[in-house]
Structure 1
Amino acid sequence: MTTTVQPTFPVTHQSAQGLPVPEVNAPLVLNSQVPIGRVEHHARSESVPRGRIMIVDDESTNVEVAKRLLSIAGHDDFVTTTDSTRAINLLHTAEPDVVLLDINMPHVDGISILSQIRSVPKFRQLPVLILTANSHSEIKLRCLELGATDFLLKPIDPMELAPRVRNALQSKQYRDTLVKYTQNLENIVRKRTKQLEDTRRDAIHCLARAAELRDNDTGNHVIRVGRYAGIVARQLELSEDFISDLELAAQLHDVGKIAIPDSILLKPGKLEPEEYEVIQQHVRHGRQIIQPYVGREADTMRGHVRAGAEILSDDNSLMRLAASIAQTHHEKFDGTGYPIGLAGEDIPIEGRITAVADVYDALSSERPYKKAMPREKCFRIMEDGRGSHFDPVVLDAFFRGASEIVRVQVEFAD
């Protein structure tokens, strides 16, 4: 039986991190260690994971010995360098599955290379096996803190190298499999979410179109109001997600008109007071249409409209937004609006925005009981409502977006 003695090396300089590094590099293995034949016979009986192995060592002999030992174990994909200054560039071009990294190298030491490897996001989980003759505990601790996968002291037992590399490759393969599975799952979730979103938007378009057909003189009114609301919200620098939902939800602002009798909704002349009270109820009807069923109604309907209930769920931010708009777009900033008489910022921002958009479109569009007003006159009437009908901040945002408002008005003219 041969006894292997761990050689020691004098410390004469420090690494870039100020840690002690031995003066000379050590051989990867000692000639007196386990014969290659035994390693070959042992390794060939084991399953060998596929993967590219990168070896960085300034001693070409060490590189060749490592390649030979790993080749005997069944590995055949190698990329190597004895120039530590090329290590990082080679890492990016070769994209190995595991790295065998020496510590004591001229120009750039292994600790610096390890630190650079871990600074690159795609290499943060790359297995890095440290091969060094330096037995100082602070060196080992620093390497482990930087994310070294394993730490082998030279000269190593040839029977250890292949199993350590094999374990590192298997760990990486397992991690890669999990990453791929996660990515595929995320893609499926995104696809299903988009399908649900498309279904939800289709439902909103159908509801908006139904309300429009009940009041066929409004033409593209609901589309214009949605676009106007989006323009105003963008001028207010609200989030893009909110703006996207607002443009769609605002199209349902008059969906409650579905419940208004034709004799009142389509009356060409001035409404009587009691008829106007009926018209005012469209905001309540709108919220009831958009909100989900409650109580026993929900129990009755849930069985055969589960998909619809999910789309129109109160947990759905888009539908909550639409319900809020349907109920509050006739509130006035000074509290004289309906149905509740909210005032100021008690009126949700979506209601204040849609109020401006809806009134401008009503003024600038033709109705059975009036002609469309000129643009400048519409703007004057809007300005007269500052602080009474309209939130001044929202009105200012409307005027800042006037050029876009006009473009939408022309594009979606009746």
Structure 2
Amino acid sequence: MPTSIPSAVNTPQDQSALPIAAASTSAARPEHVVDGKIMIVDHEPVNVLVAKKHLQAAGYSNFETTVDTANALQSIIAAGPDVLLLDVNMPNANGIDILRELRNRPEFRHLPVLILTANDDASVKLSCLELGATDFLIKPVDPMELAPRVRNALQNKSYQDQLQHHTEDLEETIQQRTADLERSRREVIYCLARAAELRDNDTGNHVIRVGRFAGLIAGQLGLPDWYVEDIELAAQLHDVGKIAVPDAILLKPGRLMPSEFAVIQTHVKLGHQIIKPHTINDGSSRRRSTYEECPIERDSGSLMRLAASITQTHHEKFDGSGYPLGLAGEDIPLEGRITAVADVYDALASERPYKKPMPREKCFSILRESRGTHFDPNVLDAFFAALPEILKVQAEYRDHYQNEAPPESTNAPESTSE
């Protein structure tokens, strides 16, 4: 005959085996029973059964139990309870250690844990409470007290879960709205860039290529991903100031007079005013790049600051002979130095209705000859390091009147330091 589990009666020999008080058949059922999974961890099977009986009498039915204290932590993790009833002094495991490990796991930081123990040492209670125990009950536990405490813990867990789900929904909504706004902003920026380019009898692909080239160069320089993404778009606005240049000069088929070329040069200042109209247009305001101002992460205005900087500084030269500010070396913002290389290469290598593309090797030669004078040597090295990808972009976004690529080799020059 199998040994039956002793009933919960108050006899002297049962008191040591049953530190949880006997259940009262007349215990009142709470008006509201909160749904949730209750897990009981105790090395004494009879303690588990008695605690479960008390809570069943209060209306609870979803239980996970274990007396395998050596594997208690794994059982708790697998069960994912809504409230945990945990003993402290157990063989092969310590309830305090289990509680500490649970609190180190993000998914269990807010799990209600009720400590049920016969150990009334104040230091044990303090240790449990400092680790985030929800409640601390000394055995034998009054069943009239146990059920309300479990109910309160489940209510708090339910509120916490609702708040967490609401927070996650809000975050998802915000992320979606932010992505929609970012997508719309980028589409508007591209339309503005394309509109400016089409005024110059171009197809609009020039601005795409320059943006892609700039992103590839920035990537080779090891700049953050956000900066690579932003400069790829911002560089497309490099010539947006053409919108404000008179047609008679912008579309003139012949050679420009010095006075007309001076008007063309104003497109950099005009572009800066279009994108960032409230910025004082002086040299000191443009001597730091957007990346240097915000090296860790971007903010809501970093893209337009980057574009404004590019429009004003992409015609500066490394030796100080460029325009409009005459900046030199690293006083030229990095985005300006990057876009200068991208813009000049595309202008040299691309076909226009009024000119044929320059052979690639000739383009490379011109870039190398301008190393340290027109172009930042480090940026130029990054350009050549990214050359295979740059040539792919060039082929993908070929202008509609450009039927085939120039016949020269697509290999990068052996040296870019000449």
State the TM-score, normalized to the length of structure 2. 0.84
Pick from 173, 188, 199 the counterpart of residue 188 of structure 1. 173
* CA distance in structure 2 between the aligned counterparts of 1:98 and 1:405, rounded to whole angstroms: 58
The reply on whether 1:38 has 2:30 as its aligned counterpart is no
Amino acid at match of 1:37: T
Structure 1 residue 263: Cα displacement: 2.5
Structure 1 residues 170-179 or 215-224, which shifts more? 215-224
The reply on whether 1:29 has 2:29 as its aligned counterpart is no
Partner in structure 2 of residue 99 of structure 1: 84
Partner in structure 2 of residue 351 of structure 1: 336
What count of residue pairs does the alignment treat as equivalent? 369
Amino acid at match of 2:124: I
Structure 1 residue 86: Cα displacement: 2.8
Partner in structure 2 of residue 300 of structure 1: none
* CA distance in structure 2 between the aligned counterparts of 1:336 and 1:245, rounded to whole angstroms: 28
Q: Give the secondary-structure state (helix, strand or coil) at the position aligned to 1:37.
A: coil
Partner in structure 1 of residue 155 of structure 2: 170
Q: Give the secondary-structure state (helix, strand or coil) at the position aligned to 1:50.
A: coil
Q: For structure 1, list consecutive stretches of 5 or more residues without a partner in the other structure.
A: 8-23, 295-313
* CA distance in structure 2 between the aligned counterparts of 1:413 and 1:352, rounded to whole angstroms: 24
* CA distance in structure 1 between the aligned counterparts of 2:235 and 2:21, rounded to whole angstroms: 79
The reply on whether 1:409 has 2:394 as its aligned counterpart is yes
- 1:225-269 per-position Cα deviation (integer Å, ceiling 9, x unaligned): 000000000001111111111101100101111122222222233
* CA distance in structure 2 between the aligned counterparts of 1:193 and 1:329, rounded to whole angstroms: 30
> Is the 8 Å Cα contact of residues 127 and 172 (structure 1) preserved in structure 2?
yes
Cα distance change, pair 45–160 in 1 and its aligned pair in 2 (3 A): closer
The reply on whether 1:291 has 2:276 as its aligned counterpart is yes
> Is the 8 Å Cα contact of residues 28 and 65 (structure 1) preserved in structure 2?
no
The reply on whether 1:203 has 2:188 as its aligned counterpart is yes
Partner in structure 2 of residue 317 of structure 1: 302
- 1:301-329 per-position Cα deviation (integer Å, ceiling 9, x unaligned): xxxxxxxxxxxxx9622112111111111
Structure 1 residue 25: Cα displacement: 7.2
- 1:81-117 per-position Cα deviation (integer Å, ceiling 9, x unaligned): 1111232222222211000011121112222222222
Q: For structure 2, list consecutive stretches of 5 or more residues without a partner in the other structure.
A: 1-9, 280-298, 400-418
> Is the 8 Å Cα contact of residues 269 and 369 (structure 1) preserved in structure 2?
no
Structure 1 residues 258-267 or 120-129, which shifts more? 258-267
> Is the 8 Å Cα contact of residues 28 and 66 (structure 1) preserved in structure 2?
no
- 1:26-81 per-position Cα deviation (integer Å, ceiling 9, x unaligned): 624234xxx61332x2xx24211111000001111111111111111111100101
> Is the 8 Å Cα contact of residues 209 and 397 (structure 2) preserved in structure 1?
yes
Partner in structure 1 of residue 239 of structure 2: 254
> Is the 8 Å Cα contact of residues 111 and 157 (structure 2) preserved in structure 1?
yes
The reply on whether 1:213 has 2:204 as its aligned counterpart is no
Amino acid at match of 1:360: Y
Pick from 14, 38, 42 the counterpart of residue 53 of structure 1. 38
* CA distance in structure 2 between the aligned counterparts of 1:101 and 1:45, rounded to whole angstroms: 23
* CA distance in structure 2 between the aligned counterparts of 1:382 and 1:26, rounded to whole angstroms: 89
Partner in structure 2 of residue 14 of structure 1: none
State the TM-score, normalized to the length of structure 1. 0.85
> Is the 8 Å Cα contact of residues 96 and 128 (structure 2) preserved in structure 1?
yes
Amino acid at match of 2:25: G
The reply on whether 1:139 has 2:124 as its aligned counterpart is yes
The percent identity for this pair of structures is 64
Partner in structure 2 of residue 330 of structure 1: 315
Q: Give the secondary-structure state (helix, strand or coil) at the position aligned to 2:65.
A: strand
Q: CA RMSD in A?
A: 2.2
> Is the 8 Å Cα contact of residues 25 and 133 (structure 1) preserved in structure 2?
no
* CA distance in structure 2 between the aligned counterparts of 1:251 and 1:399, rounded to whole angstroms: 21
Extract structure 1 runs of 4+ deviating beyond 3 A. 367-370
Cα distance change, pair 57–274 in 1 and its aligned pair in 2 (3 A): same
Q: Give the secondary-structure state (helix, strand or coil) at the position aligned to 2:26.
A: helix
Structure 1 residue 274: Cα displacement: 0.8
- 1:334-376 per-position Cα deviation (integer Å, ceiling 9, x unaligned): 1111111111111111111101100110111124554311111
Structure 1 residue 216: Cα displacement: 2.2
* CA distance in structure 1 between the aligned counterparts of 2:363 and 2:396, rounded to whole angstroms: 18
Amino acid at match of 1:36: S
* CA distance in structure 1 between the aligned counterparts of 2:116 and 2:133, rounded to whole angstroms: 11
* CA distance in structure 2 between the aligned counterparts of 1:218 and 1:356, rounded to whole angstroms: 20
The reply on whether 1:108 has 2:90 as its aligned counterpart is no
* CA distance in structure 1 between the aligned counterparts of 2:165 and 2:354, rounded to whole angstroms: 63
* CA distance in structure 2 between the aligned counterparts of 1:210 and 1:403, rounded to whole angstroms: 29
Amino acid at match of 2:166: Y
* CA distance in structure 2 between the aligned counterparts of 1:139 and 1:27, rounded to whole angstroms: 21
> Is the 8 Å Cα contact of residues 52 and 96 (structure 1) preserved in structure 2?
yes
* CA distance in structure 1 between the aligned counterparts of 2:142 and 2:17, rounded to whole angstroms: 13
